[in-house]
Structure 1
Amino acid sequence: MAHHHKSNKEVEGNPDYGHGRGLPRRPDEVRLQERTVEDRREMGLPVAERQSPQAEYEAEQAEIDLQVGEGEMETGDVTRRERDPFPPSSYEG
């Protein structure tokens, strides 16, 4: 008998889902990302190390705060209830 290079969980999967129809509808995103990083390293391409979602959010928030502070981005003092429910349109009604 040939030795599997995958664990039993990867080979068998969930017994209630994904059997009998070929490839799964959604690949394992974490494993897919790991394989992408491995492949890029093997090919000598730069690998962009991802930050945690919280760190990405904080970096984006800091950039927005910087742009607001320098006047590059304006903020409105209008609350959500005071805003128009639809964006402006170029159509004349």
Structure 2
Amino acid sequence: MAHHHKSNKTVEGNPDTGHGGGLPRRPDEDELEERTEVDREEVGLDPEAEPSSEAQYSGEESEVDREVAEGELAPDKGVHRKDREDFPPSSYT
């Protein structure tokens, strides 16, 4: 189970009124950044380095190419929309 990152008081709310504070309107950016760095360290990545958008796109593009080559994903280039399958393929049977 994942570590609960909030204190009991934060989660349970005010003990005098019995009401919780609810979800914050906006996440705490500093806390999110800190947790992201910890997560990156845990999986062995450089916590300070952020991949460029070109590198992310290239990685996604190569993954799609790999899935097409292995038959996990059917290429639909040049196939009219009405001739395509109704639903995406699923590994569940």
| Structure index of larger Rg | 1
Which bracket does the TM-score occupy, shorter chain normalised?
A: 0.3 to 0.5
TM-score with structure 1 length normalisation?
0.38
Structure with the bigger RCO (C-alpha within 8 Å, sep 6+) is: 2
TM-score with structure 2 length normalisation?
0.38
